[in-house]
A and B are shown apart, each in its own frame.
Chain A
Amino acid sequence: MLTLIDYGSGNLRSAEKALVAAGAREVCVTADPDRIAKADHIVLPGVGAFADCAANLAAVDGLREALETRVRGEGAAFLGICVGMQLLADVGIEFGSTPGLGWIGGQTSVIQPGSAELKVPHMGWNTAEPTASAVFDTAWGGAQDVYFVHSFAFRAAHEADVAAWCTYGADRFAAAVQKDNIMGVQFHPEKSQRAGLALLEEWLKQ
């Protein structure tokens, strides 16, 4: 079973429809820790500000603990999308400093493309260049253009955790991070047409 976590911070419907189109048989949209305890695949969406998403996650009784147990303890496949990916960091630096899940070392900070012509938010289709991730290799076989919309980016403490890079002007940041069963994508696979669905399809096989 796949659970899509409903904690008041995601574009749930778009994510749900894309996961179904990518082959998920049963998508359970929930924040119920008992359901999460049984999930094989867990998706954490996230739209908006880091601090709001972190607060919403903390506000659901037992959710954080259920995720720690099921994902970090028992190895269920986890996918964070956009702010759901950024929450994997130790800390989010965005109008102050907010602790994240700390599952993948690093922090978030504002995108700095280094030219007034390059606007922030980083909004639109840009290239995600995979490093050496089996999921990306199998899904894409190379770089793909995918849809980004964000003003802050994940700065991984260890380059080895970066599964794909994105370059915007002078800035280079993680388009995806991955550590064992834990994966996060800064872009929106649910809004990236074929490239996004292909990635979700491959991730669902994990």
Chain B
Amino acid sequence: MTEATSTSKHPSPSDDAPAGKAKLAVWKFTSCDGCQLSLLDCEDELLTLAGQVDIAYFMEASSRQLPGPYDLSIVEGSITTPEQRELIQAVRAQSRFLIAIGACATAGGIQALRNMAQVDDYIQIVYANPEYIDTLDRSTPLSDHVNIDFELRGCPINKHQLVEVISAFLNRRRPRISEHAVCVECKLNNTVCVAVSRGEACMGPVTQAGCGALCPRYHRPCYGCYGPKENANPQALIDWQSSLGIETVKILENFTNFNTAAPPFHNAASSIRRDRQNPPGKSP
């Protein structure tokens, strides 16, 4: 990995417009590789993009590593080790713009389920010699460590949104990414509401759009891959789903998967757990 030499939190990369092609870097922290694979999955756009930018650092795709500074860094994964905590500072220091991609980078990912457990218990379940394992007790999003210029949501991200975000930053404009609910996409698709028509535990009302309301199109309720929408109201959803007779444990599972550490989802899960211990109407 690149030397983590700089620790300055607010770097001032040169404001001069870069000469020639913009330098793009792709970084990976704790993750499944799926979001950076989205870039390689842009079969129609990849060679065009490679013609327009200089892919200066992308370990999964190339042995060629150019030193920073970089015009645009795309970062996948959450921070789970002491080394990563240093490296993300170095990445920020070398990058004019830094974009977090995917649920791991924007919310800590599914590995943030450890945040609610004792990480030592987890290590002992998986590893016979826990002393060999060096890991932080919490999985955290990049924004807990450095300033982020844009967060692209999703588990995984939508590759068309990724191309839009890269294009926007290269052209110094705002990315056109909607923050409304998945429900809006269902209406646009003419998909019959799985919550209203079938009483299913759908996360659509509190989840940000971007997937194209995929799950309802496939006759299943949304399970929240894109994290909380703007001004989400999880409590209203919990109350309504409870009134439909949906099992509390099912509602809880939906808030505790790929975006479990995103504050609105985390708070919703905490409230459900509290209510299970002290049911409303009964004195504690």
A and B found bound together: no
**A residues in contact (CB < 8 Å) with B:** none
**B residues in contact (CB < 8 Å) with A:** none
